[in-house]
Structure 1
């Protein structure tokens, strides 16, 4: 069973559901056609990070440009820089949340204390089901969700390109009653064991990440 770190567990219990009291309609954030404001835990001038409705592993989050560009090559240089600078920052935050510091319990873990899958599905044939560029960040905890643990090993790549990696699938189901088929897939892996999470669960996770980023001195734009 995967376990979060003690400090993170304490933060995670704080469920502030009304986190966007003063949001006006122009402040709402969209992932493709979907409004995801409550799932966003970090925002910059060009990018935002959000929790996942059906994460492949604990800590699986997405980083997207604010502008709904369909392809990575559509981004302007400033947007590309911001997207991947934000990706690095979120990696550091997730390391604090999920990894252990082998030399000091009092000091936060660095990204090198574990591993990450970082991926962009650039186009429908690569498995992109929401036409909005997004970077997958998936922490891999040694002995737990890493290749030496009980979780998925190299099949994580198959999951990302099959139905498991259809990050917009449940959103499409809710909005339209149908979903696009994930493309670029290897052997099919059924999605039955992964259930869509409640909004309360996702908001609580977003709150916990927001607090960790605040502790790191990273200020999110309003």
Structure 2
């Protein structure tokens, strides 16, 4: 299922690859009490060194360099994103 979802997200975001991260338990970086999979569309050079993507997911829950520039999305932006994603899977 994750692969099928990933393929659609990869196409939608015009990415060339995907990173899958499974979190199960607090020592995996899990912040919600259920197993879940992060599916992250990736592009060439989205990190200076694409093998160094620790800034994306960090099991220590530290403040990450990527968090400094991150801006929380509004409820309206998240609703629009959910609407677009729903259309991918209907």
Normalising by the residue count of structure 2, what TM-score does the alignment of the two structures yield?
Answer: 0.76
Aligned equivalents of 2:37 and 2:25: distance in 1?
13
Normalising by the residue count of structure 1, what TM-score does the alignment of the two structures yield?
Answer: 0.35
- Once the two structures are superposed, the pairs formed by residues 1-222 of structure 1 within 5 Å of their partners are 85=1, 87-99=2-14, 114-141=16-43, 146=44, 149=45, 151-152=46-47, 153-161=50-58, 182=61, 189-190=64-65, 191-214=67-90
Structure 1: segments with no counterpart, 5+ residues: 1-84, 100-112, 163-180, 215-222
Aligned equivalents of 1:135 and 1:161: distance in 2?
14
Offset of residue 96 of structure 1: 2.5
C-alpha offsets along residues 55-77 of structure 1, whole Å, 9 cap, x if unaligned? Answer: xxxxxxxxxxxxxxxxxxxxxxx
Aligned equivalents of 2:87 and 2:28: distance in 1?
34
Aligned equivalents of 1:159 and 1:126: distance in 2?
14
Residue correspondences, number: 87
Q: CA RMSD in A?
A: 2.3
Aligned equivalents of 1:155 and 1:122: distance in 2?
22
Offset of residue 159 of structure 1: 3.3
Kept in 2: contact 1:93–1:209 (CA 8 A): no
Offset of residue 129 of structure 1: 1.5
Which segments of structure 1 move beyond 6 Å, counting only runs of 4 or more?
Answer: none
User: The residue matched to 2:80 in structure 1 has which SS?
Assistant: helix
Highest Rg: 1 or 2?
1
User: The residue matched to 1:116 in structure 2 has which SS?
Assistant: strand
Offset of residue 154 of structure 1: 2.9
Kept in 1: contact 2:10–2:18 (CA 8 A): no
User: The residue matched to 1:200 in structure 2 has which SS?
Assistant: helix
